[in-house]
Structure 1
Amino acid sequence: MTDRTRHLVAALTGLGLGLAALGPGLAPGFVLSYDMVFVPDPAFTRLTFGLTGVVPRHVPSDAFVTALAAVVPADAVQKLVLLAVFVMACTSAASLVPSPRLLPRLAAGVCYAWNPFVAERLLLGQWALLFGYAALPWVVAAAARTDEPGGGRRLVRSLLPAAIGGFAALAVSAMTALAVALVTAPGAGRYRAGLRVVAAAGVLSLPWLVPGALRPAGLPGDGTAVGLFAARADTPFGTLGSLLLLGGVWNGETVPSGYGAPVVATIWLVVVVVALAAYGRWCREPVWRRGAAVAAAAGFAVAALGAVAARVLEGVIDLWPGFAVLRDGQQFVAPLAVVVAVGLGVAADRAAEARWPGVAAAAVAAPVLLLPTLAWGAAGDLRSVRYPDDWARARQIIDGDPAPGDVLVLPWASYRSYPWNGGRRVLDPMPRYLHRRVVVDDAVTVGGTTVAPEDPRAVKLAPVARTGTPPAATLRDEGVRYVVVDAEPGANRPSGAATEVLRGPDLVVYRIDGAGGGVRDAVPVAPVVAAWVLTGLAVFWSIAASRTTLSFPLLGGIKPRRPHPRRRTP
């Protein structure tokens, strides 16, 4: 069997896993869950590129989705992106297993694509983070060869999914790549390899780094919120044990149904420990072995930091707000997932060498059997819905109005539990749905504690907006043209001279005449355009110079280990 065939089988296996996991989410419509917000007919706006002054966490992932939606219906784009996560994850992890056998490779691929980390982040709606996670094994392989001729180009290509995912995905991938490059490169080459990793990650970060740095309000970094987003126990083995098992997400509502039961958790613990032991004992040929282990250890330490040393992390964030990305520490167990997956594949390979094919097959099936509630849309939690007709009429009215002015959304809360979405929580879609500047409450409340809002417009309007009946005169003076009430319409409406232009069962729209042009976007356009141009040139250089596509030359590059010849015994 050729490498190309092995990659194809792994990709098809990943596709099957994706179909099984998404289930009802593949029906026409959109899956809306926590941070996963897709809208019909998205448009390129100033928000898309982080020019409105909000923290550009959605850059460049929103631009990626909007570009695809120009040629494919937006709901189909969402399904393709989510399926791509499973396909890439299974294929990339399978390519790292140093064996020509198919079952060991599939064991690694299935483990990497179907585990508590993927399930919890999928339910949390963080598809952009998972997009980068899916390509992390390719990053490991490319980072190990960074010091070789063409190594920089390979590294940039491998980091592209993380670059699309944005700041969190790229932070995880860059940390992993740096650890692998520094440990793997020989002697003086370590300095050069490290610089190449930093340069590649830096240039791919420019689309979100530049608008973030140019925000008038600066980089937000609330060290007091460390405890809110720290890893939490979701198994009987405590926080550290849960992280070792690739779980431990901060949001208990996104833990898959049934996960963490003592018997199942114990079996999964045995699988993980066996995989780690197999990785340490038998995975010796690949040049990236030690580097990946160091990255996994470093990621585990970062993941545990908020839970075991919160004050240290708070102090680090106070030194530089950019370290706030470390608050949600559980996302940094991603490199540990690579090691566990490869270790399981290596263990399956040793079982196959010992002529125990049943053990190798069990290694392939174990992750799915131990986490069955990821199937069928996470046991029905991920279902496709359609936006109500009232939303389309509201967009037609608001976007068709030539008069300037912003949109304020009530009630004043960041997440919604719409009845038409089955009551599932989702970040308010209105800023992406409308093509005007939309002001929403971007404060996050966890367990009764609220993290301060970051959008300067939201901070300024919060005192009147949180009352539910903001004075129309005040909103007019602040440049608000429309008020959209997309939940609890009876308790929320502007007081004073506001004209109701749409009332439906799902939302109400009010117009405030005489509003000015709103507040000018404070992030300058020219530096952001330059950032996109530089990133685009780097991507073009990485692809064109190698005369390859992004497919198998990126996926391959790991020479399989041949089975050791067996001596015949007399």
Structure 2
Amino acid sequence: MEIYNEVSLAIIVPFLILYAIYRIDPRYLVALSLILLISSAAESAVGNSAVANDIAIVFFYCLSAGVVLIIVDDYIKSRKPRGNRLKSALSGLYAGISFYVKRHRRVIAEFIFPSVVFASLSLLILGPLLYPGYVLVTDMVFGPRAPLSGLYGMSAFIGGGNALSVFDYLLYFIMPGWAVEKIYLFLILFFSGLTMFRFSRHFGLSGPSAYFSSILYSVNPFVYARMLAGAWGLLFAYSLVPLAFLLFIRLVDLKEMNNLIRKAAETAIVFSVLAVFDIHTFILSAILCVLYYVVMLIHSGRRETLESLVRSMKAVLILLAFLVLLNLYWLLYSPYSAQNIIGSFNFLDAIAFASSPTVFNNTMLSIAAMYGFFRTGYPYPITDFPSLIVIFFLFLLLSVLGFLLFCSERKRGPVTVTLGAAAVISVVIATGISSPLTAGIYTFLYDNVPLFNGFREPQKFVALLVFAYAFLIGLSILHIQSFLSQTGRRGRYRGVIQIAAAIAIVFILISPFIYSYMEVNSFDGQLTSVQYPSSWYRAEAIMNDNTTDYSVLVFPWHGYMYYNWSKTKFASPFNSFFRQTVIYGGQDTYLSGQGDTSLYSPLILSVLKERNSISHLGNLLSLMDVKYVFLSKSADYWNYSFLYRQSDLKLVENSSTCALFENMHPVSRAYIVSRIAAVSGYPQLINASSSVNMLSYAWVISSSVAISKQNYTNGSYLLLNSTKISDADYSIRTPGFLGLDSRNYLVFIPPSGYDSGWRTSPALIPYVSENTSSGIASPGYLVYQITGAPSQVRVYFAPFSDLLYGYVVSLVSFVILVAAVFIVPVIRVRRFGLASHLFKRIH
């Protein structure tokens, strides 16, 4: 028996005996379980993940036993049983549960039972993926630590994900990284089913039809392909789209224009969560809401008063105001981000990310069948069993039937028309340039609609198509149920009709599992849980012994690659593994054009080109504050054997999975030199590293320099002590008397490479930006001319100050809106009970 089972029995059995004899309050057991939860978090924080897991399991057992005892105790007290207490307690278990079910029947039917169903479905699908370990695939990369590098505004793209990085950072204090990842994976499938169920029930879909809509929304080729691609952020946002759309519908409902502030607040909160996980899904949901609002206004016609229409517009304006406040922390920087990222896309990217003809070599058919993901090579159910196309045509037929039957209905008509229109739009856009029927429309949108090219891959629009299928097919099932129910009440073939109806409905309910059977089979075994190699942890321990502020250079220089200890290809995990500033390849092998996001890429690529003639790489890397070079023995690592030949790199760790080299040259985040050295390009800079100490000069790149006339000699330099306040703020101590030369230059190496947003206090003259007109550029650091003799210089990233205002405003707004939605109605909880309050809020 496992240790956690023994401990659980040792706690629960004595407590049951004490309860039976002395009627001890069951809440003590719940309180004990909370203490165990805190203990588990504490053990996880200090690195004892195995102990933390065992304590967490004991917590679950104790909490479950405590809840059951509370139900039993509630029943016993309400009935005031007599006789033997032990007999009363045991006989009251079943009666207590029955009493609770009868008392909260509607809540159980609408929330608790569906939650159990979709939680079970999530566990069934994920299966072995929930074991300890990391699921590493393409863009889904978790590690032992949660980086905050994007928080300061130094990354190329600033979006809602900054809030997610902070949330993950806090979660890592109470549980290991792999547990955080597994919770996200579980919630993706759980929320997909539950939110679609609530959306369906709101529009009158009965049990079987609502459950079908929820199952299809959770189990389909779109979710399957995106999970294999590691797009967990997109899928998490996708799982909340039905909830966001439902809240918007309730907000602008012309019949119930009360509590606008609270409705707008909860709608804005959910939409902001979409932006946190995936900005594209946020935009797709916004498109859906705009479509619905237009359809609703057209559908209402003259039936509604002008006052109702004005109040509806007022609700939309309040929602927009709340959204701006909640998302100000990234909206302030979005123009700069859009220019950096979206501005680099061109039509070659549209070709590279075009939807693929997965089904019968037809792109439009593939999109309509919920396939068409641009990355090829994944095994799909329909490629193994082409006959599954019959199920797709069944889905298509039922969708059209549901649209035709309910498009003119007063209550369900607007949402039916909206989702029908969204389905058509998504097929057209997702097909894109891959079909002559849609290429012209897509090209026009790509060239003329602002930010449209930011979607990069049009197949993301299939998310709206899946939503439409799920709801419209649910409407058809609802109609079929009603028709068969009326037909089966009379006639001599009533029994046959009822049996046939039951068989048909059961087949329709299980059809999503057949159509996407690979997803149900734990994604056909293509995803596995793995642990990072122990040698990586040894290398990290060696680097952690050096407490100075330095960077780590990682090879091979790729953005995505296969690792010899994992069966999948995924993005560089080093920023989520090492505590130090990591310089790694940012090249996206899926991009058609320039995809390397690393600012040091030109220098590193030049090094790799000249690797056979380099023997003093450590000297060159001192310009990047690189103290260690980490070589992962993956992909084409044999092309990096030149590292072993470097005279100034010391091999300190070597295994079958990695090698770690220490730079024997001194490095520092900041230093002072007395001379500027200009080179014509990176090859000349590399040549200089073989004959001169690179810290002797502040090196700059200038196209006007003649290569043959440059002679360099070692000069004076002074390494400075810098205190890292944050990644965006450094305090550098400089000597009052420099003693190098009459003119001195401060060289500062930012953790993210050169960026014009860095400032100094007191203000120093930036050498590079002062001479940009003459074609001078920096190889990755900042150079300032020092005037006077300051004893301390503060170097900070100025854009972070603007972002900080946005963070404060968004955080305060979030707290106020959460209070308006959840805390203010607490009086209703005390008056009517928690269960009925939760049901009313969800319903």
Does 2:466 align with 1:348?
no
Q: Which residue of 1 aligns with 2:277?
A: 165
Q: Which residue of 2 aligns with 1:244?
A: 368
Find the partner of 2:153 among 45, 51, 58.
51
Q: 1:320 to 1:452 in 2, by over 3 A?
A: farther
Q: 1:211 to 1:38 in 2, by over 3 A?
A: farther
RMSD over aligned Cα atoms: 3.2
Find the partner of 1:410 among 536, 555, 564.
555
Residue 542 of structure 1 aligns to which amino acid in structure 2? Answer: L
Residue 526 of structure 1 aligns to which amino acid in structure 2? Answer: S
Does 2:377 align with 1:253?
yes
Q: 1:483 to 1:216 in 2, by over 3 A?
A: farther
Q: Is this contact kept in 2: 1:236–1:260, CA < 8 A? A: no
Give how far 1:203 is off: 4.5
Q: Is this contact kept in 2: 1:246–1:337, CA < 8 A? A: yes
Q: 1:360 to 1:418 in 2, by over 3 A?
A: same
Q: Which moved more, 1:262-271 or 1:107-116?
A: 262-271
Does 2:786 align with 1:511?
no
Give how far 1:238 is off: 1.4
CA deviation string 1:540-563 (max 9, x = no partner): 23321123699998997797xxxx
Percent identical residues: 19
Give how far 1:460 is off: 5.0
Aligned partner of residue 59 in structure 1, secondary structure: helix
Aligned partner of residue 491 in structure 1, secondary structure: helix
Q: 1:201 to 1:454 in 2, by over 3 A?
A: farther
Give how far 1:83 is off: 0.7
Q: Is this contact kept in 2: 1:95–1:555, CA < 8 A? A: no
Q: Which residue of 2 aligns with 1:481?
A: 627
Give how far 1:181 is off: 3.4
Aligned partner of residue 226 in structure 1, secondary structure: helix
Q: Is this contact kept in 2: 1:443–1:450, CA < 8 A? A: no
Give how far 1:418 is off: 1.2
Q: Is this contact kept in 2: 1:38–1:74, CA < 8 A? A: yes
User: How many pairs were matched up?
Assistant: 555
Does 2:247 align with 1:142?
yes
Give how far 1:96 is off: 1.9
Between the aligned partners of 2:660 and 2:323, the Cα distance in structure 1 is: 43
Between the aligned partners of 2:514 and 2:456, the Cα distance in structure 1 is: 32
Q: Is this contact kept in 1: 2:266–2:817, CA < 8 A? A: yes
Q: Which residue of 2 aligns with 1:68?
A: 171
Q: Is this contact kept in 1: 2:275–2:281, CA < 8 A? A: yes
Between the aligned partners of 1:467 and 1:315, the Cα distance in structure 2 is: 44
Q: 1:456 to 1:558 in 2, by over 3 A?
A: same
Q: Is this contact kept in 2: 1:39–1:433, CA < 8 A? A: yes
CA deviation string 1:168-209 (max 9, x = no partner): 332333332333334335655675565455545544544444
Between the aligned partners of 2:333 and 2:426, the Cα distance in structure 1 is: 27
Q: Which residue of 2 aligns with 1:562?
A: none
Give how far 1:452 is off: 2.5
Between the aligned partners of 2:609 and 2:400, the Cα distance in structure 1 is: 51
Residue 658 of structure 2 aligns to which amino acid in structure 1? Answer: L
Q: Which residue of 1 aligns with 2:780?
A: none
Find the partner of 1:390 among 532, 535, 550.
535
Matches within 5 A, 1:260-271: 261-271=385-395
Between the aligned partners of 1:466 and 1:203, the Cα distance in structure 2 is: 49
Q: 1:25 to 1:153 in 2, by over 3 A?
A: same
Between the aligned partners of 1:104 and 1:552, the Cα distance in structure 2 is: 25
Between the aligned partners of 1:274 and 1:540, the Cα distance in structure 2 is: 44
Give how far 1:464 is off: 2.5
Q: 1:296 to 1:417 in 2, by over 3 A?
A: same
Between the aligned partners of 1:21 and 1:528, the Cα distance in structure 2 is: 40
Q: Which moved more, 1:22-31 or 1:305-314?
A: 305-314
Residue 52 of structure 1 aligns to which amino acid in structure 2? Answer: M
Give how far 1:51 is off: 3.4
Q: Is this contact kept in 1: 2:244–2:285, CA < 8 A? A: yes
Give how far 1:215 is off: 5.8
Q: Is this contact kept in 1: 2:156–2:341, CA < 8 A? A: no
Q: Which moved more, 1:123-132 or 1:495-504?
A: 495-504
Q: 1:364 to 1:83 in 2, by over 3 A?
A: same
Between the aligned partners of 2:522 and 2:610, the Cα distance in structure 1 is: 37
Matches within 5 A, 1:18-417: 18-40=122-144, 42-45=145-148, 47-49=149-151, 51-56=153-158, 59-97=162-200, 98-99=203-204, 101-147=206-252, 148=257, 149-150=260-261, 151-184=263-296, 187=309, 192=314, 195-196=317-318, 198-211=320-333, 213-214=335-336, 218-220=340-342, 221-223=344-346, 224-236=348-360, 238-256=362-380, 258-259=382-383, 261-282=385-406, 284=409, 285-286=411-412, 288-308=415-435, 322-353=451-482, 354-355=484-485, 356-417=501-562
Q: 1:75 to 1:362 in 2, by over 3 A?
A: same
Q: 1:100 to 1:178 in 2, by over 3 A?
A: closer
Give how far 1:325 is off: 2.5
Q: Is this contact kept in 2: 1:183–1:190, CA < 8 A? A: no
Q: Which residue of 1 aligns with 2:740?
A: none
Residue 5 of structure 1 aligns to which amino acid in structure 2? Answer: A
Give how far 1:115 is off: 0.3
CA deviation string 1:437-462 (max 9, x = no partner): 22222222239x45432333335543
Question: TM-score, normalising length from structure 2?
Answer: 0.60
Between the aligned partners of 1:327 and 1:455, the Cα distance in structure 2 is: 20
- In the alignment, structure 2 segments of 5+ residues that lack a partner are 1-104, 301-308, 486-500, 670-748, 756-796, 827-834
Q: Is this contact kept in 2: 1:501–1:509, CA < 8 A? A: yes
Q: Is this contact kept in 2: 1:27–1:384, CA < 8 A? A: yes
Find the partner of 1:456 among 599, 602, 618.
599
Q: 1:479 to 1:556 in 2, by over 3 A?
A: farther
Q: Which residue of 2 aligns with 1:527?
A: 802
Give how far 1:394 is off: 2.2
Between the aligned partners of 2:113 and 2:271, the Cα distance in structure 1 is: 23
Question: TM-score, normalising length from structure 1?
Answer: 0.87
Q: 1:248 to 1:88 in 2, by over 3 A?
A: same
Q: Which moved more, 1:182-191 or 1:145-154?
A: 182-191
Does 2:115 align with 1:11?
yes
Between the aligned partners of 1:84 and 1:350, the Cα distance in structure 2 is: 31
Between the aligned partners of 2:609 and 2:578, the Cα distance in structure 1 is: 21
Aligned partner of residue 122 in structure 1, secondary structure: helix
